[in-house]
Amino acid sequence: MRIYTLAKKLGIDSKELMEKLKELNFPVKSHMSSVDDDTAEIIRHEVEDLKRKEIERNVIEVDFPISVKDLAVKLGKKPSEILKVLMSKGKFVTINNALDEDTASGVAYFYKTTLKKKAKYEDKVFKTDSSKMIKRAPVVTLMGHIDHGKTSILDYIRRSKIADKETGGITQHIGAYRIESPKGGITFIDTPGHEAFTAMRARGANATDIVVLVVAADEGVKPQTVEAIDHAKATNAPIIVAINKIDKSNADIDMVKQGLSRYELVPEDWGGKTVVVGVSAKTGKGIDELLDMIILQAEIMELKASYEQPAVGVVIEARLSRGRGPVIAALVQQGVLKKGDVCVSNVFWGKIKALHNDRGKTVDKAYPSYPVEVIGLNGLPSPGDRIFVVPNEKKAKEIVSRRKEEEKVKTVSSAHVRLVDLHKKIEEDKLKQLKLILKADVGGTLEAVEESLRKFSSDEIKINFIHKGVGLINYSDVLLAEVSDAVIAGFKVNIEPQAKEYARKKGIEVRVYHIVYELINDVKSALEGLFEPQIKRIFVGRARVKEVFKLSKAGVIAGCAVEKGKIMRAKPCDLIRDNEIVTKSTITSLKRFKDDVREVGEGMECGIGIDYGDIKPGDYIDVFLEEKIERKL
Ligand code: GDP
């Protein structure tokens, strides 16, 4: 192999390669010199090693997103140079545009530099100092099928454990409430259900320590019970089962236990590990036992919090109140939240004017695992957002303005697993399992599809079905996919409009199939790295090559006349000779006289450079726009 061919393969200049070879004691005479395949392989290996070391040597710390201007300063380059690098990657931006981490790192890589993210204030406060931790109460969420009694149980506990002790018995709805049982405190999240639970997790915070799965004794395990189980499992939260409505004459506890056993929740009295308590929200039977079990579970978990660090909590609800402005219900997770603290949540901040507890009383402080209403922020964060204390207003403003910048450049597509880049991730060892949510029209098909897909699990990658179910792909499926980084595959089912919109916004892959073979084939080829999205090409123009110039620096430039449509830079093209495609390439340079231009219209002349040297007068260059389309059947 000739040195210049090898250099091209390695993506470096042949002169640079020769320099490197000297360093590596492989001197060669000229770039036309040849080396055998084995030597080429060794050289390739060594050069890549050298490149990597070089890049590792140059590390600079920056904040993301970073503007082109600031990146140029950091790299010691001119902004115009950075813009050129970006352009070569098909990105057209101005010097004031902000670049996200991936894009900026790509540019830095070009200059053999690694960008390291500067540690954010949040990274520091969200980390807890385990040496200073003391015990805290568990936070519990109730989940289960609709009408199985979640709200009734929450109401019963609230009424019986708070009302009888407090004057008037008035409790304020602030998204969570706390009870003190003889054995310890428990905080219940007041918005039951797995959707709210997972929606909160999707925003980054996990508020719940223990899940109480409510199953009605007369109905048993239902589809939403299964959903709830899978949502709880995805967070690794322990599950305690409350079999509710045991007062009913048609209650059938064994039937419920049987149903639970099918989902790996084998009751303790059946030889399993799951704590199951029979309760009635109507009569109150079993409720005390349920509370005891929660406390017991919490003790096993040794839940702790630090009281000394700056307070951090999670937003449970947020609403606008007339007269009081934004009212935020939060659960304190670490530290002690105090009146007068300056805090940040989402892109809002403020000095805390007042704090109210779940009994509607004004308080000065809120401790870990206590729900509290916060007044003083200048906007409404979303459930699941973190709320945290900062040292002063200046810091708050700084964090908020950085977050607003981040919001602007956020790209969704790279965040989640997609079939197209599955193989790459497996190879880079970033992925050990493909998480799938599988929905089908009927139970039989669901099992058959699952069975066929399981066969593809290998040493490299395991297919993990985090949820399977019959029926439409719904919002809850998409949320679960979001938090667990899963791909959703549906077989002969539709997707709910709200779920579709959310998936699109978050860049979560949802695929619907009508032929089993196609589904299996897609997963198989994704695992093998053969999966390509279908590309739609749209013809935009054709140019005829009139003359060819060989320039030493710029390579080969074709002097052309645009005969149809227009020619656009950085777009894919075909080189055509005698009605046959000679090569597929990209328009790398486009000039009108001496000026670089983005496009040239019909009837005009221009100079075109493509990634291919052998162009002849009389050839045609056809330019296309390419659009990736999801393969749907
Ligand atoms: P959720 O949808 O899970 O919150 O269920 P609800 O708490 O709204 O309860 C649904 C229905 O079941 C209501 O009509 C309740 O009165 C009834 N219910 C709840 N718990 C019990 C119970 O322990 N016994 C009986 N007999 N009915 C109950």
Which one is predicted more confidently, 400 or 198? 400
Does a structural domain hold residue 410? no
453 and 601 share one domain: no
192 and 281 share one domain: yes
The pLDDT assigned to 34 comes to: 81
Does a structural domain hold residue 90? yes
What does pTM read for this prediction? Answer: 0.67
Q: Is 245 in the pocket of ligand 1 (CB under 6 A)?
A: yes
> Residue 425 belongs to a domain with what CATH number?
3.40.50.10050
- Residues 531, 521: Cα–Cα separation, whole Å: 9
186 and 268 share one domain: yes
Q: Is 231 in the pocket of ligand 1 (CB under 6 A)?
A: no
Q: Find the 282 Cα to ligand 1 centroid distance in Å.
A: 8
379 and 451 share one domain: no
Q: Which atom of ligand 1 lies at the shortest distance from residue 142's CA?
A: 3
The pLDDT assigned to 587 comes to: 92
- Each residue of 510-521: pLDDT tens digit? 988 888 888 888
198 and 262 share one domain: yes
Does a structural domain hold residue 99? yes
Does a structural domain hold residue 623? yes
157 and 277 share one domain: yes
Map residue 421 onto helix, strand or coil.
helix
Domain boundary residue, one of 302, 332, 347? 302
Does a structural domain hold residue 128? no
141 and 244 share one domain: yes
Domain boundary residue, one of 57, 82, 97? 57
Q: Find the 242 Cα to ligand 1 centroid distance in Å.
A: 13
Does a structural domain hold residue 123? no
> Residue 545 belongs to a domain with what CATH number?
2.40.30.10
Token reading at 112:
């053999």
141 and 279 share one domain: yes
> Residue 19 belongs to a domain with what CATH number?
1.10.10
- Each residue of 335-394: pLDDT tens digit? 999 999 999 999 999 999 999 999 889 999 999 999 999 999 999 998 888 999 999 999
For 457, the domain range is 419-530
- Residues 403, 346: Cα–Cα separation, whole Å: 8
Substitution candidate for ligand 1 out of 152, 191, 243 with most atoms within 8 A of CB: 152
Does a structural domain hold residue 412? no
Number of domains in the chain: 6
165 and 287 share one domain: yes
Does a structural domain hold residue 407? no
Write the CB contacts of 374 (distance below 8 Å, at least 6 apart in sequence). Answer: 327, 328, 329, 330, 337, 343, 352, 355, 387
Share above pLDDT 70 across residues of the chain, in percent, rounded to a whole number: 92
Which strands, in side-by-side order, build the sheet including 275-278? 176-181, 184-189, 139-144, 210-216, 239-244, 275-278
Write the CB contacts of 565 (distance below 8 Å, at least 6 apart in sequence). Answer: 539, 540, 541, 542, 602, 623
- Residues 601, 586: Cα–Cα separation, whole Å: 18
Q: Find the 139 Cα to ligand 1 centroid distance in Å.
A: 22
- Residues 341, 167: Cα–Cα separation, whole Å: 30
Burial category of 577 from C-beta neighbours within 10 Å (exposed 0-12, middle 13-18, buried 19 and up): middle
- Residues 28, 350: Cα–Cα separation, whole Å: 66
Averaged pLDDT, 535-541: 82
Substitution candidate for ligand 1 out of 145, 147, 225 with most atoms within 8 A of CB: 147
53 and 90 share one domain: no
Half-sphere exposure of 225 (CA within 13 A, CB side): 26
277 and 327 share one domain: no
> Residue 231 belongs to a domain with what CATH number?
3.40.50.300
CB atoms closer than 10 angstroms to residue 606: 23
The pLDDT assigned to 632 comes to: 39
289 and 190 share one domain: yes
Q: Characterize the bridge pairing of strands 362-363 and 433-440.
A: unpaired
- Each residue of 143-166: pLDDT tens digit? 999 999 999 999 999 888 876 555
